[in-house]
């Protein structure tokens, strides 16, 4: 799905002012090799993550993910890993392994600890109903990861 002028994220969405949105902007701008998004406002850069019911209806039920979708999936989990690092000061390493059909797994390790493990399905339909839902999902992963790191600091420090 390409970014069009019909963004579903409002320019004044309060989520855009959060640390999560700032990190996701960093991640998205990092994968923009040719500077296509250089002049884009934040809401337009993050817009492809939002799959409204109407946008989801256009996508096929079964399909192979294109490289833009895979890049967004990687950016999302890289963003969560970066936020884990900011919170606990330990290096968090994301690993996203996908088949060409769009199935796979996302892991984030901290030391020898697997701090996050998510099974991925139907990646060609990867997205969230709103930017707020995306932030909620990231916050959930972040809180579970930080809890595990707190429970097993010796393993996370290896």
In the chain, where the domains are located: 14-156
What whole-number distance in Å separates Cα of residue 108 and Cα of residue 145? 8
pTM to 2 decimal places: 0.92
* pLDDT tens digit sequence for 55-99: 999 988 888 899 999 999 999 999 999 999 999 999 999 999 999
Question: Would you tell me which CATH number, out of the four given (1.10.630.10, 3.40.50.880, 2.70.98.10, 1.10.3100.20), belongs to the domain 14-156?
Answer: 1.10.3100.20
Q: Phi and psi (nearest 5°) for 118?
A: -130, 125
**pLDDT over 50 (residue 16):** yes
Distinct helix (H) and strand (E) counts, the chain = 6, 3
Position 5 scores a pLDDT of 58
Angstrom distances, CA of residue 16 to CA of 25, 55, 93, 144 = 9, 21, 25, 23
**pLDDT over 50 (residue 1):** no
Q: If residue 116 lies in a helix (H) or strand (E), which one and from where to where? A: strand 113-120
* pLDDT tens digit sequence for 114-149: 999 999 999 999 999 999 999 999 999 999 999 999
Position 4 scores a pLDDT of 47
Sheet holding 92-98, edge to edge: 92-98, 104-110, 113-120
Position 133 scores a pLDDT of 97
């Amino acid at each position: 799905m390409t970014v069009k002028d019909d963004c579903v994220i409002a320019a004044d969405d309060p989520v855009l002012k959060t640390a999560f949105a700032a990190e996701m902007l960093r991640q998205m701008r990092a994968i923009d090799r040719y500077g296509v998004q250089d002049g884009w406002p934040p809401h337009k850069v993050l817009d492809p993550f939002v799959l409204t019911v109407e946008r989801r209806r256009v996508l096929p039920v079964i399909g192979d993910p294109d490289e833009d979708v895979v890049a967004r999936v990687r950016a999302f989990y890289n963003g969560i890993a970066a936020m884990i690092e900011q919170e606990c000061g330990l290096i968090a390493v994301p690993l996203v392994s996908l088949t060409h059909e769009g199935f796979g797994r996302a892991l984030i390790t901290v030391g020898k600890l697997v701090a996050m493990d998510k099974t991925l399905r139907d990646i060609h339909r990867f997205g969230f109903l709103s930017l707020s839902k995306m932030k909620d999902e990231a916050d959930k992963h972040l809180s579970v990861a930080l809890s595990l790191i707190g429970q097993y600091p010796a393993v996370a420090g290896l």
